[in-house]
């Protein structure tokens, strides 16, 4: 049970995320979201003033000349899009060696994607999962609905902290009746992956956002340390001063990440790595630009 102070702190974080996400959507993400995930079966709706980040190809030059300032054409989709954000809140989600944890990165990313979707008239829903699905919020519109989603990401505490991508994928395949756009945010340290992700990608447009921390890829030289698995509680004493151990660990983690990337590629799942010590929004930006170029090309 959260205390009043913890609830107030959490709501402060939600409000900060809302302000940051709205600004990013307004300045850049909205146009890229539109060109990345829409564009099929669009009907002209109206004109509005050009905003930074809008697609230049949507500028209407006749209206622009009459109004003496840039105006773009607005479109509406014949069949609105349902966006599902699936977030891993297992034990490893609370890890972060620099400043933000994986969970906080996931909440920030969900806020940007959610406000982008709402800005373009789409419904947004949420699946929170760990060892099993914990909470499903069906797609709806409205900022209050989205703020509840962000709050749930930050406060969810699974009774079983393990990770099962398979359970999350199976739940989405069974639950979502119509084709949806699914963003799965996780570190993808889970088995099995290939069959569940392949099944999800065949039914829904799927995008993987892999949240990683630098210490997971490369051990620091810190002498003997006790390492604890946050999902199983298993403890082991590791001598990080041993160069062979550090090298072996780095190779093992590189193979794991390459294997997961190969699964994404095999099943046509676009992906981006969001680093807890990096510019996660730049990585998301890059993914949207890549999709936009592919659709317009």
- 275-278 contacts: CB < 8 A, separation 24 or more? 275/211, 275/212, 275/213, 275/214, 276/96, 276/97, 276/98, 276/99, 276/100, 276/101, 276/102, 276/105, 276/211, 276/212, 276/213, 276/214, 277/97, 277/98, 277/99, 277/213, 277/214
Specify the range with the lowest mean pLDDT, choosing from 52-66, 174-188, 216-230: 52-66
Contact 135, 150 (CB under 8 A): no
Rounded to an integer, the average pLDDT of 102-113 is 90
Express each pLDDT in 181-222 by its tens digit: 999 999 999 989 999 999 999 999 999 999 999 998 899 898
Specify the range with the lowest mean pLDDT, choosing from 3-12, 14-23, 33-42, 78-87: 33-42
C-alpha 229, offset from chain centre = 24
Cβ-count burial 183-216 (b if 16+ within 10 Å, e if not) = bbbbbbbbeebbebbbbbbeebbbbbbbbbbeeb
Residue 177 DSSP SS3: coil
The pLDDT assigned to 14 comes to 73
CA distance 105 to 208: 14
Rounded to an integer, the average pLDDT of 270-292 is 86
Q: What is the DSSP letter of 77?
A: E
The pLDDT assigned to 96 comes to 87
Q: What is the DSSP letter of 274?
A: E
The pLDDT assigned to 78 comes to 47
pLDDT at 4 over 60: yes
Looking at per-residue pLDDT, the higher value among 77 and 139 belongs to: 139
Domains and CATH numbers, the chain: 42-76 (no CATH), 79-296 (3.40.50.410)
Rounded to an integer, the average pLDDT of 85-96 is 94
pLDDT at 169 over 80: yes
pLDDT at 41 over 50: no
Residue with tokens 């799965």: 184
Beta-carbon-side half-sphere exposure of residue 49 (alpha carbons within 13 Å): 6
Residue 209 DSSP SS3: strand
Contact 146, 114 (CB under 8 A): yes
CA distance 108 to 85: 12
The pLDDT assigned to 1 comes to 46
pLDDT tier, 34 (very low <50, low <70, confident <90, very high otherwise): low
pTM above 0.85, yes or no: no
Residue 65 DSSP SS3: helix
């Amino acid at each position: 049970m959260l205390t009043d102070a913890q609830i107030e702190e959490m709501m402060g974080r939600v409000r900060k995320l809302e302000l940051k996400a709205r600004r990013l959507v307004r300045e850049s993400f909205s146009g890229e979201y539109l060109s990345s995930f829409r564009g099929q079966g669009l009907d002209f709706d109206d004109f509005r003033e050009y905003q930074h980040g809008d697609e230049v190809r949507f500028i209407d030059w006749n209206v622009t000349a009459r109004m003496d300032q840039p105006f773009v054409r607005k479109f509406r989709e014949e069949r609105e899009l349902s966006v599902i954000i699936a977030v891993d809140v297992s034990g490893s989600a609370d890890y972060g060696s620099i400043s933000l944890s994986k969970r906080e990165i996931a909440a920030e990313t969900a806020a940007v994607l959610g406000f982008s979707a709402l800005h373009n008239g789409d419904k947004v829903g949420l699946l929170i999962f760990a060892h099993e699905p914990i909470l499903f919020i069906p797609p709806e519109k409205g900022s209050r609905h989205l703020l509840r989603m962000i709050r749930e990401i930050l406060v969810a505490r699974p009774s079983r902290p393990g990770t099962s991508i398979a359970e999350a994928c199976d739940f989405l395949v069974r639950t979502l009746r119509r084709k949806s756009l699914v963003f799965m945010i996780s570190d993808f340290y889970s088995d099995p992956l290939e069959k569940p992700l392949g099944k999800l990608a065949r039914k829904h447009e799927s995008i993987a956002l892999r949240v990683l921390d630098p210490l997971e890829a490369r051990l620091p030289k810190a002498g003997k340390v006790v390492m604890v698995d946050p999902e199983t509680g298993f403890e082991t004493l590791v001598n990080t001063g041993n160069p062979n151990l550090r090298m072996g660990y780095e190779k093992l983690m590189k193979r794991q990440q390459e294997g997961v990337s190969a699964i994404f590629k095999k099943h046509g799942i676009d992906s981006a790595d969001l680093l807890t010590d990096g510019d996660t929004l730049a990585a998301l930006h890059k993914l949207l630009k890549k999709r936009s170029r592919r659709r317009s090309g």
